[in-house]
Amino acid sequence: VVQCLAQFGTDSDRILIMNELKGHLPKLSQLKYAHFIVLKLLDKGRKNSVLCQSIFKDLKGHVGKLATHSIGARVIQQAFSLLKKELRTQLKIEIYGPEYVLFSALPPEKVPENLEQFISLRPDKKDSILAGVKETLVKIAEKGLLIFRYTHTLAWEYMNQCNKTTDLKDLIPILSEGFAALLSTRDGAKVASTCAAYGTAKDR
């Protein structure tokens, strides 16, 4: 019933629904059926700034966990695809690890847009940031989440910052399980090519 209201109701109806669900979106995003309500709110409310801002505030602080969750990953992909750039960027940095809190006070226009910019603001934390991203990529690959576009971008950004000779040695065999999915996007194809170039004969 709620999903139908979100789909066929007015923006006012969706805002009312969102007000009732406020504080619960992260949990709903991890549930088999309930996450469809979140997807529908994102899809139907993307042109309503009030609704988008409410969804953004509810998801903020939970992206890292949802991005590696078998169901929550769908919500993150939808959010990254439909939210405006300034909101999307503020959510995306959470995937880079807990260090994102260091930049939470920055105005939206100064929030780092990618891993390179993220590291450039705290070069002293580079090793720990890369270790965290690598751990996230392992979780993503092991859970079969390489079907999502944001995972391809994350993997490519990581490969541009890490030491390819040493850091990819144990990551390539894990990523190779999702090669078919990686080839569906430009970033993913570059990840696959890099894996082929730096992997062993067995990996290839």
Residue 199 has pLDDT above 80, yes or no: no
Q: How far is CA 47 from CA 41, 50, 85, 101, 194, in A?
A: 11, 9, 13, 28, 38
Helices and strands per DSSP (H, E), number in the chain: 15, 0
CA-wise closest residue to 76 among 42, 118, 34, 126: 42
**pLDDT at position 203, please?**
67
**pLDDT at position 30, please?**
97
Residue 144 three-state SS: coil
Q: Tokens 């570059």 map to which residue?
A: 190
Q: 9 vs 74, which has greater pLDDT?
A: 74
Q: Is this model's pTM higher than 0.85 or not?
A: yes
User: What does the radius of gyration of the chain's CA atoms come to, in whole angstroms?
Assistant: 18
Q: How far is CA 42 from CA 33, 55, 96, 191, in A?
A: 15, 8, 23, 29
Q: CA 4, CA 152: separation in Å to the nearest integer?
A: 32
Q: CA 100, CA 98: separation in Å to the nearest integer?
A: 5
**pLDDT at position 72, please?**
97
Q: How does pLDDT run across 43-67, given as a tens digit for each residue?
A: 988 888 899 999 999 999 999 999 9
Percentage of the chain beyond pLDDT 70 is 99
Q: CA 192, CA 194: separation in Å to the nearest integer?
A: 5
The structure tokens listed for 78 are 């939808």
Which stretch of 86-95, 103-112, 154-163 has the lowest confidence by average pLDDT?
103-112
Which residues have a Cβ under 8 Å from the Cβ of 86 and sit 6 or more positions away?
A: 108, 109, 111
**What is the full DSSP assignment across 176-197?**
GGGHHHHTTSHHHHHHHHHHHH
The structure tokens listed for 128 are 């720990």
